[in-house]
Amino acid sequence: MTQPQQDVVPVNRFYLQIDGVNLAVFTGVEGLKVETDIFEYVEGGNNGFVHKLPGQTRVGNLTFKRGLVSTNELFNWYMKVASGTIERRNLSVIIYAFDGVELRRWDFFDAYPVRWIGPDLNSTVNDGAVETMELAHAGMQLGSS
């Protein structure tokens, strides 16, 4: 029996969309993960086996990296949180093909920034200035594309 062929899609064009608006192109996104804890239960009288039962499921924080841009929108959003005003937003991470067709979308709910890291500045290196933003969120789902 032959297996259906599945094409691996190169991922080099993706966007962060906040409240339906493509906000920025990022150089990296990390934290697209869902993880379920395992609860081990030892049954009395059965010494050769341990039951592994699903426990709590959690989602990871998202980390975005991008070259420094002229707007301070993400930094200002973080500073609101740092001053005690949590402004939750819905967002999506969207992957596009070379021809502009949307390939995959992950939707995140009630997100807010929990960390901002500014660029490392070194005059002897010719690298671009990169800022990093970490966002917590209340859950995710695979969006329709």
User: What is the Cβ-side half-sphere exposure of residue 96, based on CA atoms within 13 angstroms?
Assistant: 13
Distance, in Å, from the CA atom of 101 to the CA atom of 31, rounded to the nearest integer, reads: 23
Q: CA-based Rg of the chain, rounded to a whole angstrom?
A: 20
What does pLDDT average to over the chain?
85
Q: How confident is the model at residue 16 (pLDDT cuts 50, 70, 90)?
A: confident
For residue 28, give the nearest of 128, 121, 98, 99 by alpha carbon: 128
- Mention every residue, 6+ apart, whose C-beta is less than 8 A from residue 8: none
Topology adopted by domain 14-33+60-142: Pnp Oxidase; Chain A (2.30.110)
Cα of 10 vs its chain's centroid, Å: 18
pLDDT single digits (tens) 66-80: 877 777 888 899 999
pLDDT band of 99, cuts 50, 70, 90:
confident
- Residue 10's pLDDT is 63
Domains of the chain, by residue range, sit at: 14-33+60-142
What average pLDDT does range 93-107 have in this prediction? Answer: 86
pTM: 0.77
pLDDT tens per residue, range 51-68 = 999 999 999 999 988 877
Report how many helices (DSSP H) and strands (DSSP E) the chain contains, helices first.
1, 10
Q: Looking at per-residue confidence, does 7 or 145 come out higher? A: 7
Q: What is the pLDDT of residue 1?
A: 55
Q: What is the mean pLDDT of residues 69-95?
A: 90
- pLDDT given at position 121: 80
